[in-house]
């Protein structure tokens, strides 16, 4: 069945309504009609199978048939991604949703080719949020990745929440292999039989074409980030992001 997104502030499982672009897509693109079945989710783990009961020019009203919930993952991964050129950020956001990251923070680094003023930054954020919604709809992901407003690295750290593990991709000689860092961390944070700790938070920073500058790397290290190497082959930005998220997902989940 087709999936549609209803924001958490509009979510009422006993009175579900599609509005805006979701109404247009359902009515004008998919040609759904009264009696058709669909699935809606709120990006916070809730999902409802519903039936179309009323359509008009501005909204579609639904009747709940079945509801379900998806528990949050124990590991919450934030990807701090220096904005790459072209449309590669769209791809990174899409794959981050599919792999299960909880948050992506677009970074404007010293070597970032893309420079954004406040208005452009807000427009990019809105665009990437829509990319995340579409990826969640297509992949069956009921937890929607949050897209932060693009910021410089120093501003990101100023507003960042505490993390249990902080990593930064690096080409420097002091970088450790990701597998070794994760093995050491997991040995110290192995859950016990009665473990009721909240989700552990992991930060993964990926630089732009040309890597982070030495000053940016030093800043990240001063905030507790461990430099990691991804092996002897220099990866493209989007490849590095997908590689790191995939390894973290496999090792931690």
My answer on whether 22 and 108 are in the same domain is no
Q: At what angle do helices 237-252 and 178-188 cross, to 10 degrees?
A: 30
CATH number at residue 45: 2.40.240.20
At 97 the three-state DSSP class reads helix
My answer on whether 57 and 129 are in the same domain is no
My answer on whether 162 and 38 are in the same domain is no
Supply the range of the domain harboring residue 18.
Answer: 3-69
The residues that bridge with 54 in the sheet, in sequence order, are: 61
In the sheet that 46-55 helps form, which strands lie side by side, from edge to edge? 3-5, 37-41, 46-55, 59-69, 17-19
Reading the chain (253 residues) residue by residue, the pLDDT tens digits are: 899 999 999 999 889 999 999 999 999 999 999 999 999 999 999 999 999 999 988 999 999 999 999 998 888 999 999 999 888 999 999 999 999 999 999 999 988 777 788 899 999 999 999 999 999 999 999 999 999 999 999 999 999 999 999 999 988 888 899 988 998 888 876 655 455 555 789 999 999 988 899 999 999 999 999 999 988 888 899 999 999 999 999 888 7
My answer on whether 36 and 125 are in the same domain is no
My answer on whether 188 and 237 are in the same domain is yes
- CA dist., res. 142 & res. 134, Å (int): 12
Last residue of a domain, one of 47, 69, 91: 69
My answer on whether 144 and 247 are in the same domain is yes
My answer on whether 163 and 190 are in the same domain is yes
- CA dist., res. 204 & res. 97, Å (int): 15
My answer on whether 47 and 128 are in the same domain is no
Domains in the chain, number? 2
My answer on whether 30 and 106 are in the same domain is no
- CA dist., res. 195 & res. 56, Å (int): 50
């Amino acid at each position: 069945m087709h999936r549609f997104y209803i924001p958490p502030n509009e979510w009422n499982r006993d009175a579900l309504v599609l509005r805006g672009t979701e109404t247009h897509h359902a009515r004008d693109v998919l040609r759904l009609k009264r009696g058709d079945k669909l699935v809606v989710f709120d990006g916070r783990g809730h999902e409802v199978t519903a039936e179309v009961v009323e359509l008009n020019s501005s909204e579609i009203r639904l009747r709940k048939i079945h509801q379900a919930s998806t528990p949050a993952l124990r590991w919450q991964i934030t990807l701090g991604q220096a904005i790459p050129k072209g449309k590669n950020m769209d791809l990174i956001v899409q794959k981050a949703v599919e792999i299960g990251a909880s948050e992506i923070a677009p970074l404007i680094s010293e070597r970032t080719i893309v420079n954004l003023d406040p208005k452009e930054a807000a427009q990019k954020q809105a665009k990437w949020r829509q990319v995340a919604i579409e990826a969640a709809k297509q992949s069956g992901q009921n937890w929607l990745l949050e897209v932060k407003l693009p910021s410089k690295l120093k501003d990101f750290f100023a507003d960042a929440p505490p993390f249990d593990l902080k990593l930064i991709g690096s080409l420097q000689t002091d970088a450790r292999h990701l597998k070794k860092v994760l093995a050491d961390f997991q040995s110290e944070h192995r859950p016990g039989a009665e473990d009721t700790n909240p989700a552990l938070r992991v930060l993964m920073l990926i630089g732009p074409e040309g890597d982070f500058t030495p000053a940016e790397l030093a800043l990240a290290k001063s905030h507790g980030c461990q430099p990691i190497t991804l092996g002897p082959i220099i990866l493209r930005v989007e490849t590095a992001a997908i590689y790191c998220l995939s390894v973290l997902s496999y090792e931690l989940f």
